[in-house]
Amino acid sequence: MDNFTFYSPTFFDFGREAELHVAELIRRFGGSKVLIHYGGGSIKKSGLYDRVIGCLDEEGVPYVELGGVKPNPRSGLVYQGIELCRKEGVDFILAVGGGSAIDSAKAIAAGSVYDGDFLDFYHGRADVEKALPVGTILTIAAAGSEGSPNTVITDEKTLIKKGASGDVLRPKFSILNPELTCTLPPYQTAAGATDIMIHVCERYFSNTSEVEITDRLCEGILKTVIYETPRILENPNHYEARANLMWAGMLAHNNVCGVGREQDWASHNIEHELSAIYDVTHGAGLAVVAPLWMRHVLKKNPGKLVDFATRVWEIPLDETNPEATALQGIEAFEAFLKSIGMPGSFEEIGAKKEDIERMVDKLFRNSDTQGNYVKLTREDVIEIYKSAVKGS
């Protein structure tokens, strides 16, 4: 196990009706004027918006609001949010929604107290050292932004989708009421579950040895997602299954599973090029990319893929041919993704073979390789993208 530091100070309020504590939590964490930031309207349809506003009104917490965050959030709305916060003297940001609303809120939080262009954080030109405090009310188990120090934004001018990170961006509190996720369409539930699995895989596929504790945490989360997702798709109001998936989403990405080990992140980087250009749902893009990444690295470094097959998918080890066992694990993963309605090809997400060169150019603009489990070259990534084209 490698040396590490781990700082994860988010306060979690988990369970039924937890959103009713929002005003009290904002006060506890020092908010006196709030920006409520949300997406395209699901929170209004579900009644959550009215409950949140009702709580703030009742407790006398002043607020302004900015809705309209799109999935794969864009820089334009972030600039608007920064301007609004400065004009209104906002000192606390409440994101209500999924990873997109939360990531956009984090960008506004950092940008409001920064003199330069907030995109500096995303293009590696500045570190996030200060930010307004952020709180969240989560409505989808997926991105893990409710407990992570990360935010991902698409620069509208260049269509470059990039992440920024900083411990000051970890939410001060996150309200996780599994009931709020019951209104999700099946596709979003499944895409969220896929994202959770790949957050674990990015950490699981590591060359660091002797990391039994994080290996087993990773396997436990993967097995939970495999168990709970079909139960939810069968019965969307299954509270206990929703609850387990929601906590899995947080544990998958607050880095408790990633400390002390090298991490990969090639699948995410390869996927971000797809969601930047085609606006594909992040988890659905990962469903296409991640199994193909696994097939690609299998020959070069089968070790953890054998563990993935035997420990997660419970495939008996063929000691004479461990690679064949690993391949069965990948096939089991692909079959699972298909069974929950996830895509497996470029065609299913509207991606085009003609754009491969352009995506690879963008991906490799500042680096020669991608990932760590196997360091992928430009040619490797081209091969992975090409293998996503049907009939290839």
Q: What angle do CA 86, 92, 98 make, to 5 degrees?
A: 110
Query: Quick one: which segment of 23-31, 55-63, 95-103, 354-362 binds ligand NZQ (CB under 6 A)?
Result: 95-103
Q: Which of 42, 75, 104, 370 binds ligand NZQ (CB under 6 A)?
A: 42
Which residue of this chain has its Cβ atom nearest to Zn ion in the complex?
195
Tell me, residue by residue from 172 to 191, as one string, x for binding to ligand NZQ by CB under 6 A and - for no binding: --------xx-xx---x---
Q: What, of Zn ion, ligand NZQ, none, does residue 42 touch, CB below 5 to 8 Å by kind?
A: ligand NZQ
Question: Of 166 and 303, which has the nearer Cβ to ligand NZQ?
Answer: 166
Crossing angle of helices 212-234/239-253, nearest 10°? Answer: 150
CB of 282 to Zn ion, least distance (A): 6
CA 58 – CA 164 distance, rounded (Å):
36
Q: What angle do CA 285, 288, 290 make, to 5 degrees?
A: 95
Tell me, residue by residue from 164 to 203, as one string, x for binding to Zn ion by CB under 5 A and - for no binding: -------------------------------x--------
User: Per rule CB under 6 A, is residue 194 in the interface with ligand NZQ?
Assistant: no
3-state SS string over 34-76?
Answer: EEEEECCCHHHHHCHHHHHHHHHHHHCCCEEEECCCCCCCEHH
233-262: contacts with ligand NZQ (CB under 6 A):
253
Nearest CA among 53, 7, 6, 10 for reference residue 28: 10
User: Per rule CB under 5 A, is residue 334 in the interface with Zn ion?
Assistant: no
Reported for 293-296, long-range contacts at CB under 8 A and 24+ positions apart, including other chains, are 293/266, 293/267, 293/371, 293/384, 294/330, 294/333, 295/327, 295/330, 295/387, 296/374, 296/376, 296/380, 296/383, 296/384, 296/387
The site for ligand NZQ, by CB under 6 A, has a size of 37
User: Per rule CB under 6 A, is residue 144 in the interface with ligand NZQ?
Assistant: yes
Question: Of 47 and 62, which has the nearer Cβ to ligand NZQ?
Answer: 47
- Contact positions vs ligand NZQ (CB under 6 A): 39-43, 46, 71-73, 97-101, 103, 139-140, 142-145, 148, 150-152, 180-181, 183-184, 188, 192, 195, 253, 268, 275, 282-283
